[in-house]
Amino acid sequence: MKRKWWGWGALGAGPSAEQARAIARTVAGRFGVAVEPRPPPRLEEIALPQPRVAPPAALAAFVSDAPEARAGHHYGKSYRDVVRAFRGELPSPPDQVAFPRSEAEVAAVLDWCGAEGIAVVPYGGGSSVVGGVETAIPGARAVVSLDLGRLDRVLELDRVSRAARIQAGVLGPALEDQLRPHGLTLRHFPQSFEFSSLGGWIATRSGGHYATLYTHIDEFVESLRVLTPAGVIETRRLPASGAGPSPDRLFIGSEGILGVITEAWMRLQDRPTHRAGASVRFDGADAFLRGAEAVRRLAQSGLSPSNCRLLDPQEAATSGAGDGSHAVLVLGFESADHPQDAKLARALELCRDAGGIVPEPAARTRNGAADDGAAGAWRRAFLQAPYVRDVLVACSVIAETFETAIPWSAFPEFHCRVMEATLGAVQRVCGAGSVACRFTHVYPDGAAPYYSVLAPSRAGSELAQWAEIKAAAVEAIIAGGGTITHHHAVGRDHRPGYDRERPELFAQALRAAKRALDPRGLLNPGVLIDA
Ligand SMILES: Cc1cc2nc3c(=O)[nH]c(=O)nc-3n(C[C@H](O)[C@H](O)[C@H](O)COP(=O)(O)OP(=O)(O)OC[C@H]3O[C@@H](n4cnc5c(N)ncnc54)[C@H](O)[C@@H]3O)c2cc1C
């Protein structure tokens, strides 16, 4: 499958030209501005700088400087990345892109780059939205993007313990295809599932679609195999261990700066067969905060819904799950073992008690059937979102998302602060636009709100306008006590917020770990810490 080098998905996938024009008309109607999609960039018309290094002959079979490979590995997939690529701004592509077919070839790339002082950027699916795979590295002699996509196999399965040894470069769909015949699943479904990899999930501590319990990839990692410039680290397979600080935890979230994850033993689950779901409405001026109170009670009830997405009225309208007059809670339960009706019934009782309006008949019990109603509308919009964003970029519409987490006790004030700051910036900078919010994940002690900004901008000024909005949002989040990221990672783009959030002494400890594992500072310079 050939991927689009500048945007999301496979070549030819996504909205047709007619659908793109329809999206543009919808946006134009909503914001009262003229909007027209521009044609996508043509790589043939863009001059890339010459590669500064060539691979040794022994590596030439799996290292490429083809323009498409270099252009496609220049950026990740944040809004800013897609805008720059769409404009054809490709000033610092990787000099070479390596596609190793084995761990030995990964080691050979690290050896070559170590010997020549070349920076290495580990690359899984390239879906980073925080500059984690960007190859513009100031001061680097040359840069190699290390694409692990050919390491895509499930190597071993332990059916009794329900775990598998899996190569790190496998993308979500190919991983599930290999587990399905065994009745098993990793059950980790980030929105970027189609084009993100196991190694990338682990390196960024990604969050899946499931709203409670096993949400972060962290929970599923049983052991890791990591190639560092100083040698190989392989951790012991254990269901749990109290033996000191966890070596796995050092690499989970290390964002490619400490080593290249080549394999992991992952905990699996049986594929769910029992499902029950419903959606609940919350009305009134404070609909979202009323919904949040219901969700808090649910999160603290021990019921652990698999889906618990609270959409504010704006988000519900954008996804087609509501008409903009009320908040919607999309609720779902699932199990491979037992029916979920009793759990759903209790959850709906809790929602009613908290002021939620439960439609009659409330619950739908499904056995693999397609979703309909608000839940189905929400799911379809969720899967289409990255494709639609490419169209919005072509229309010069700012389409930014950011997310955080905050304890329940602080949530109402925090949320008002973030909304006020972000909406204020949108109005000031763009004159029109919207900010919507939903919960992606909830915990007994707090929630992970996710904000989506849509705003018309001036072609050519998109990034300056976007930067002002983003800065206002980041300031509100950090000053309000939230985290710079619940699941999008730090990369290069979130460094200013991360540097304020993490204790300085911890940064020193991380730098010491980096010096031990990557003494020449080859791996992903500028991400998480400065050397
Ligand atoms: C449309 C869209 C939706 C998204 N939705 C979600 C979501 O629901 N949940 C979520 O958590 N995130 C989401 N993201 C962010 C992104 O998909 C995640 O951060 C994901 O985990 C990155 O995986 P990847 O394989 O694409 O990694 P990449 O983007 O290739 O790399 C990410 C980072 O990990 C490092 N890395 C990659 N592979 C390895 C490896 N094998 N060893 C060491 N380091 C490595 C890279 O150097 C980089 O720093 C979304 C992004 C987009 C564009």
Contact 266, 221 (CB under 8 A): yes
Q: How far apart are the first and last CA of the chain?
A: 37
Strands 143-147 and 96-98: parallel
Distance 189 CA to ligand 1 centre (A): 12
Distance in angstroms (rounded) separating the CA atoms of residues 372 and 303: 23
pLDDT at 211: 77
- Is the full-model pTM beyond 0.85? yes
Interval 178-182 mean pLDDT: 98
Nearest CA to ligand 1 atom 50: 192
Ligand 1: which atom is nearest the Cα of residue 262?
41
- List the single range of 21-30, 66-75, 244-253 with lowest mean pLDDT: 21-30
Any bridge partners for residue 366, and if so which? 275
Q: Rounded to the nearest 10 degrees, how much is the dihedral formed by the CA atoms of 100, 103, 104, 107?
A: 80
Mean pLDDT of the chain, nearest integer? 95
Nearest CA to ligand 1 atom 23: 200
Distance in angstroms (rounded) separating the CA atoms of residues 11 and 297: 45
Assess whether the C-beta atom of 142 lies below 6 angstroms from ligand 1.
no
Quick one: which H or E segment has residue 290? Answer: helix 287-299
Distance 206 CA to ligand 1 centre (A): 7
Assess whether the C-beta atom of 305 lies below 6 angstroms from ligand 1.
no
Contact 413, 419 (CB under 8 A): no
Written as six digits, the tokens of 363 are 């619950």
Nearest CA to ligand 1 atom 22: 200
pLDDT at 528: 98
DSSP one-letter code for 235: P
Interval 243-268 mean pLDDT: 98
Residue 35: pLDDT band (50, 70, 90) is confident
DSSP one-letter code for 4: P
pLDDT at 113: 98
Distance in angstroms (rounded) separating the CA atoms of residues 56 and 302: 57
Alpha helix (H) residue ranges in 98-240: 103-116, 172-179, 198-204
Distance in angstroms (rounded) separating the CA atoms of residues 439 and 444: 13
pLDDT at 529: 96
Distance of CA 43 to the CA centre of its chain: 27
Burial of 89 (0-12, 13-18, 19+ CB in 10 A): middle
Ligand 1: which atom is nearest the Cα of residue 122?
47
Quick one: which H or E segment has residue 233? Answer: strand 231-234
- List the single range of 129-133, 261-265, 301-305, 373-377 with lowest mean pLDDT: 373-377
C-alpha to C-alpha distances, 101 to 45, 92, 106, 152, 257, nearest whole angstrom: 32, 26, 8, 9, 21
Assess whether the C-beta atom of 456 lies below 6 angstroms from ligand 1.
no
- List the single range of 234-248, 370-384, 469-483 with lowest mean pLDDT: 370-384
> How many CA atoms are closer than 13 Å to the CA of 109, on its beta-carbon side?
31
Assess whether the C-beta atom of 77 lies below 6 angstroms from ligand 1.
yes
CB atoms inside a 10 Å sphere around CB 52: 12
Angle 86-90-93 from CA coordinates, rounded to 5°: 130
Assess whether the C-beta atom of 523 lies below 6 angstroms from ligand 1.
no
Residue 369: pLDDT band (50, 70, 90) is very low
In the chain, helix, strand, coil percent, each to 5?
35, 20, 40
pLDDT at 232: 98
pLDDT at 376: 81
Ligand 1: which atom is nearest the Cα of residue 489?
19
Strands 163-167 and 143-147: unpaired
Assess whether the C-beta atom of 94 lies below 6 angstroms from ligand 1.
no
Distance in angstroms (rounded) separating the CA atoms of residues 374 and 52: 53
Ligand 1: which atom is nearest the Cα of residue 389?
1
Assess whether the C-beta atom of 201 lies below 6 angstroms from ligand 1.
yes
Distance 216 CA to ligand 1 centre (A): 13
Distance 255 CA to ligand 1 centre (A): 9
Contact 331, 279 (CB under 8 A): yes
Query: Ligand 1 pocket check: which of 81, 106, 110, 127 to mutate, most ligand atoms within 8 Å of Cβ?
Result: 127
Assess whether the C-beta atom of 207 lies below 6 angstroms from ligand 1.
yes
Assess whether the C-beta atom of 487 lies below 6 angstroms from ligand 1.
yes
- Express as a percent the part of the chain with pLDDT over 90: 91
- Express as a percent the part of the chain with pLDDT over 70: 98
pLDDT at 370: 43
Assess whether the C-beta atom of 127 lies below 6 angstroms from ligand 1.
yes
Quick one: which H or E segment has residue 394? Answer: helix 373-394
Distance in angstroms (rounded) separating the CA atoms of residues 337 and 272: 8
